[in-house]
Structure 1
Amino acid sequence: MSGDETPRTIVVYIDADACPVKDETYRVAGRYGLHVYVVANSFMALPREPWIERVVVSDGFDAADDWIAARARPGTIVVTADVPLASRCVKAGAAVLAPTGKPFSESGIGMALATRNLMQDLREAGAITGGPKPFSARDRSAFLGALDRTVMRLKRGGFG
């Protein structure tokens, strides 16, 4: 497959570099019979399932993001912590979830981008920002619930 499924099929794209919820995504996708594309710029070991596909892109800047964004559309689910990628995918109509289970939305993506840019500017200016808090079991559980709800919402919307 090439990542271009039929228009009403739910497909999951994982921005795989440093994604802590790949196994959880596989578990939910397996339950619903969804195809998962694991996109990274280097080889990554994956479960041997016909519905999980590895996509290795060039190591060019944003190559994985570009590959995912080019395929984002209504009915796709994108799992990423990358705010600029999330913004591109939300604008294309995809459902986008952070690994913490937080959905990115059309109404909130502008604020998320502004916060990201502010934090980047502070880091570049030498301010100590502390970085993100450690990923927790609560985050993992929130992600599982959010992904399940997202799949059910898309199914109710006529995707399958």
Structure 2
Amino acid sequence: MEQDKNISIYVDADACPGEIKNKIMTYISKADIRFVATYNHYSANEDQTLWTYIDAGSEAVDMYILNRVKAGDLVITQDIGLASLVLPKGVYAISPRGKEYNQDTIETSLSFRYLYQEERKKGRFHSGPKKVSKNDLDKFTASLKKFFD
């Protein structure tokens, strides 16, 4: 199904890798793209017509996106909580590594997120996310293409 310019792509951009942002830009002619980040991530080098910067806050970017997204839009986020909130609105949600969030599995993903948070509190996980691999980029590209097919 070919999408039209009324479709928006919202990118939870604070933690979105540069390679993924570049891949998203290849779809600029097919959708309204909006990168959303806190002012902590402001860059004068970015195309300011595509970026929205908001005040820092633990859920500020999520709330901005949640309040604007509509059925048929795409949200790109690593935040499983945000994905769980937009899915019931008829929004397609994927992670920057190409994981497709869906209603059938989101509860399980939320449960695992909780367990990982508990483990982090106990000091068992210290490192951040791994660098984006070619496999991650390929998987993301495939998921993004599905949205426009």
TM-score, normalised via structure 2 length: 0.85
Verify: 1:112 aligned to 2:109, yes or no: yes
Q: Is the 8 A contact 1:83 1:113 kept in 2?
A: yes
Kindly provide the CA deviation profile for residues 93-140 of structure 1, in whole angstroms up to 9, marking residues without a partner as x.
Answer: 210010111110001111111101100001102224765443201111
Question: In 2, Cα distance between the equivalents of 1:15 and 1:151?
Answer: 19
Q: Which residue of 2 aligns with 1:25?
A: 24
Q: Which letter maps to 1:46?
A: E
Verify: 1:79 aligned to 2:76, yes or no: yes
Question: In 1, Cα distance between the equivalents of 2:143 and 2:33?
Answer: 17
Question: In 1, Cα distance between the equivalents of 2:135 and 2:113?
Answer: 23
Q: Cα offset for 1:61?
A: 2.1
Q: 5 Å matches for 1:11-160?
A: 11-20=8-17, 21-30=20-29, 32=30, 34-42=31-39, 43-44=42-43, 45-47=45-47, 53-128=50-125, 132-152=129-149
Q: Is the 8 A contact 1:38 1:54 kept in 2?
A: yes
Q: How many residues align?
A: 140
* Amino-acid identity (%): 29
Question: In 2, Cα distance between the equivalents of 1:129 and 1:58?
Answer: 27
Q: Is the 8 A contact 1:72 1:93 kept in 2?
A: no
Question: In 2, Cα distance between the equivalents of 1:132 and 1:41?
Answer: 20
Q: Cα offset for 1:70?
A: 1.1
Question: In 2, Cα distance between the equivalents of 1:103 and 1:87?
Answer: 12
Question: In 1, Cα distance between the equivalents of 2:134 and 2:127?
Answer: 21
TM-score, normalised via structure 1 length: 0.79
Displacement over 3 Å in runs of 4+: 128-134
Q: Which letter maps to 2:138?
A: S
Q: Which letter maps to 1:83?
A: I
